């Protein structure tokens, strides 16, 4: 992903939106591949759990593909909406 594409993804988000980088392999520089909204529950200082947004989860459940479950795969209470940056895999 280039800067132009990242700027476009950021332009509609509020300035206070938290940004979370989904880490790739340790000590590896990996290019940015995807930017999406997600729900995030912070864990320890450098960890946390990422979940689909409510809308994305509903689409996955409705598709019937992949065994998604609206209750089992839902983010827990207290999850915050974040901008998720994923590396190219």
For 16-39, how does the pLDDT look when each residue is reduced to its tens digit (9 = 90+)? 888 877 765 666 667 888 889 999
pTM, rounded to two decimals: 0.76
pLDDT of residue 70: 96
CA dihedral in degrees (35, 56, 38, 32; nearest 10)?
-20
* Residues in the chain where the model's pLDDT stays below 70: 23-29, 45
User: 39, exposed or middle or buried, with CB in 10 Å at 0-12, 13-18, 19+?
Assistant: buried
């Amino acid at each position: 992903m280039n800067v132009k594409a990242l700027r476009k993804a950021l332009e509609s988000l509020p300035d206070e939106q938290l940004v979370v980088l989904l880490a790739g392999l340790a000590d590896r520089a990996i290019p940015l591949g995807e930017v999406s909204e997600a729900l995030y529950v912070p864990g320890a200082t450098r960890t946390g759990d990422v979940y689909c947004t409510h809308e994305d989860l509903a689409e996955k459940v409705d598709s019937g593909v992949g065994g998604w479950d609206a209750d089992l795969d839902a983010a827990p209470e207290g999850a915050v909406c974040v901008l998720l940056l994923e590396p190219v895999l």
